[in-house]
Chains A and B, each alone.
Chain A
């Protein structure tokens, strides 16, 4: 896809630039008592995989956290040729347990902070039930639409790792690139203004940071990832996870990291198109078997330390 002429790019703006939107969201949720965390240092498919959500939404203890999570969806790679599709993108995630009674108001306030005035726009809560078969998790909630565009996922967790959530946590997930494109009025993700500086004064665009990454990672995901090795890595991660959980004192967190690894390896195998429909179900079942055990082990450890 040819690059659009520079004239179609928005003027740099330090208020609405990509990095400032992240800062605004961090500031807002920190102000509400969320612990600001950094991303999980592993490849994951979504912010939900971060232990700060998967594990911490279980059990009785209150927990509020917010973080950016780089997320990878190998099958969404388009070699940098599609203006809306990325195999690597940023999610901003806030999670609160128990879910506050005014969760919807808190969320809408965050849109105002980002510069989206609900009085000028058409904000809608459209049914979208969330389910993660690999995490054995599900919840009810909505896609939040702003003028017909999905800007967030809003979910009340009901189960994680096959375990009932009690109290219930609420998760707010923002797709940062899409949101920023909307706010900046950009039609091609690679044109996003990253740091608010003019092009001739150190201005950086999304494409400067990530275009080559999309090209190369797409090639890796679709063409060069060695499937035999991926399968072997998957088996290794699965075995590591199981042996860590089989210890007299199970190591829930390291085991969960192995589970995350297995999940990502499965995604890569899926992108390589080597998994048949029935095999796919079997792989998902294997990852779910790991994640549910990790969740139980984590919860057991919490109860033991409290007792």
Chain B
């Protein structure tokens, strides 16, 4: 058994691409081995900023021999058939074939024996193919090269069983050498196998395994922190990134000047972490400590003093920039910046950010009643919520939008509710982001998103396929989470219509002539014809988003469909309550039976109606009932229908389901004892009308035809 060791040494590979590239290379080579019939024991991939490495152990020294049998024509077959068979064998003559008898007939058989090739020869082809097939998110050419790699490739180390494998990338031929750390050990190193390679690299200041580098970084970081009486703020994303920027990590601690510690912690963190890739440290009370940890790729003779001093100086320059803006921005109030918002375009057709703010004031004020917020405070928060976009700090560090609004509002003496709403109104930004709960913040967060959605719906810029340039799906999910998690009773259609009223009438009344409303909502609820079209279409979009959202929580799609198909349900909390009640019904024995009965009734009806082009939706005539089962069912339907209606009106959905379940015995008896299609035409029509009643009564609760049994 033998070992393959491969290393591709290049200029610095972007940190974010490293892990994926190592995996892809491994998969490509393993795929090639499988195809070539080569088995192996263990396979491991490693990556550093400058090298992709793969080691596969337990490979055979040659491919297994292969014996293949091919059945040919009968010995009595015409010449032509025999020729064709020989032609497919490539070089064998008829004398090389065996004759075998099968069920009394004699056939030619060819036995082809292929000797296995030496693994090293096969490997060359596999590796070359893998180099060509490896795809990078972005790749490049350099010098006079025609092939592409992520950055210029410098060397290929490829050893199988102690010998160099004959592979190449353009003019770069594989050898048994590599190089150590760029600065600490730049000379060539000859290698015999993986353990020799790993040991020599370690000696040459290269820690091959990213997991080792991560562990070492955390270990050093924690030691330094503990020594200073602090705690490292753990951050796996940052740890992965910095471990991809170094081959030999050395963690150093530097100081943040006290004069910068008055800056908002979000600004400090952004500068330290995002721009400088430093770990931040926390004091015992959880606040940011005036220190940072940088992960260097160097072992300097002065123990990193110059490196630490350099990093501190860079940080001072960056933070003094931030402090400059912090001081400048607070010289004027947020409110005084309102006029500037008129100059920022929100969207070509939807006007300026200033115009959006005016709309938000109306909408947030309107929404206050639903979230339990103070109307004046909601309007005030809406008025101020975009003002930080024109501050120096947010211009410099866009990530702190909203958060800066909060700081500046507090500085201006705005109420805390209002200031917090500014900070939270962009939330939630995704499925895992915290969802605001304070009433003013919820009203503003809803208003911001609903205004955006209604606006883009009005100008017909909806997401299509993978294209969603204005992140409208995310906005809808945000609205859903705000409503559901806060249990808000919000009539969405009415709110959409209210939001639409703030857009210019020219925008609202265009391009809808040929579209029909998707629901039978009354006109007076949401206004004009155009409004109905847009608002109901947006509600349908919400239903789709809701399904995606609930899928993660294991709620069945079809149950949501069954409720939304009723058409006029725009209260998400009520909708979910119905779905939940329905879910427990269809999970029960009674539910399964009801569902079957519904299906049966629907099938019979649809077949008969289609045949005759007649509708049986009117009420059956009690005088025409011929059997007791019909009468019993009819009475039960009337009773259950009336009770369910009342319970649904009272939002007692679970009770409505229980009542519905009472239909099971009469339904079962009806289908067992009654033949719908009798010869007496009048009785038959009446029975079909009874079936139609079943659907109508059950249809109050949900559209059962949408449920997949």
**Interfacial residues, chain A to chain B (CB-CB below 8 A):** 1, 81-85, 98-101, 103-104, 118-127, 129, 139-142, 146-149, 156, 158, 165-168, 170, 181-182, 185, 187, 273, 276-278
Contact = CB atoms under 8 A, between A and B. Distances in A.
Given A121-B300, A126-B245, A149 B310 contact: yes
A147 B140 contact: no
B12 A82 contact: no
A147 B297 contact: no
Given A122-B300, A147-B309, 8 more contacts: A81-B324, A120-B300, A122-B297, A124-B246, A127-B12, A142-B12, A148-B311, A182-B313
B269 to A, nearest CB: 16
A277 B245 CA distance: 35
Interface stretch (B20-28, B314-322, B633-641, B642-650): B314-322
Nearest to A117: B306
A127 B16 contact: yes
B307 interface: yes
Given A120-B302, A168-B141, A147 B314 contact: yes
Contacts of B298: 119, 121-123
B345 A277 contact: yes
Contacts of B154: 101
A156 B315 contact: no
Contacts of A165: 141
Contacts of B348: 276, 278
B321 A156 contact: no
Contact of A147 (B12, B138, B183, B311): B311
Contacts, number: 122
Contacts of B141: 156, 158, 165-166, 168
Contact of B301 (A99, A104, A120, A149): A120
Contacts of B302: 120
Contacts of B296: 122
Given A100-B143, A104-B11, A124-B245, A140 B310 contact: no
Contacts of A127: 12, 14-16
- Summarize A's interface: helix, strand, loop or mixed: loop
A147 B301 contact: no
A149 to B, nearest CB: 4
Contacts of A166: 141, 144
Contact of A99 (B143, B294, B307): B143
Contacts of B144: 98, 166-168
Interface string B1-23: 00000000001101110000000
Contact of B321 (A85, A146, A273, A278): A85
Nearest to A147: B310
Given A119-B183, A121-B300, A187-B317, A278 B345 contact: yes
A129 B139 CA distance: 11
Nearest to B302: A120
B316 A187 contact: yes
B470 interface: no
Contacts of B311: 122, 147-149
Interface of B: 11-12, 14-16, 49, 138-145, 150-152, 154, 183, 245-246, 276, 278, 294, 296-298, 300-302, 304, 306-307, 309-311, 313-317, 320-321, 324, 343, 345, 348
B143 A167 contact: yes
A122 B276 CA distance: 13
Contact of B138 (A124, A125, A129): A129
B15 A168 contact: no
Contacts of A277: 345
Contacts of B49: 125
Contacts of A119: 183, 298, 300-301
A82 B324 contact: yes
Contacts of A146: 310
A103 B152 CA distance: 10
A98 B343 CA distance: 46
Contacts of A98: 143-144
Given A122-B297, A168-B141, A84 B320 contact: yes
Contacts of B276: 148
Contacts of A187: 313, 316-317, 320
A9 B440 CA distance: 51
B12 A148 contact: no
28 contacts: A84-B320, A85-B321, A98-B144, A99-B142, A101-B152, A101-B154, A103-B152, A104-B11, A120-B307, A121-B306, A121-B310, A122-B296, A122-B304, A122-B310, A123-B183, A125-B11, A127-B14, A140-B151, A147-B309, A147-B311, A148-B315, A149-B310, A149-B311, A156-B140, A166-B141, A168-B144, A168-B145, A273-B343
Contacts of B294: 122, 148
